[in-house]
Amino acid sequence: MADYNDVDQINKLYTEQETLSKAIDALDNYDGTISNFTVQPVFGAGTMPQGNIMSVIVHTVDPKQNLMAACHASCVQRYNTINQELRDLGVTNTPPDQAGGPKEE
C-alpha cells in the first residue's frame, strides 16, 4: 500500500505516464511525427559550460525513421519504468506495460 507521503510523487508519475501514453498512441495509431525536439547540454558536478552553451529547439521536416523509432522506444521504456516506480511505491492496479516496437507499416 502506498504511503501518504508519496502521493505527490505518485501524481507526478501518473501525469508523466499519461503524457507518454498520448505520445505512444499518436505514433502508433495516428501516423504521428516529431515536429521538433530539444537538445540541451548536461553538466556534471563541478563542470562549467564553455562559451555560449544553451538548449536548442530543433524543428524537423520529414524526420528519419530511426529518429521516430528511437523516440517511440524511449517513450515505451520510460512508461514501463514509471509503472515499476509506481509499484515500488506500493501502487496497485497500474496500467499494463506498453509493448516494445513501433507500428509496422
Do residues 82 and 17 touch, judged by C-beta distance below 8 A?
yes
pLDDT in tens, the chain (105 residues): 667 788 999 999 999 999 999 999 999 999 889 999 998 887 776 666 677 777 889 999 888 889 999 999 999 999 999 999 999 999 999 999 998 654 444
44 lies in some domain? no
105 lies in some domain? no
Residue 102, pLDDT score: 47
Residue 1, pLDDT score: 66
Where in the sequence is the domain holding 28, given as residue range(s)?
4-34+62-88
> What total number of domains does the chain contain?
1
Do residues 50 and 83 touch, judged by C-beta distance below 8 A?
no
Residue 4, pLDDT score: 76
Q: What is the pTM of this model?
A: 0.79
24 lies in some domain? yes
Would you give the DSSP letter of residue 36?
E
**CB count in 10 Å sphere of residue 71:** 19
Residue 53, pLDDT score: 74
101 lies in some domain? no
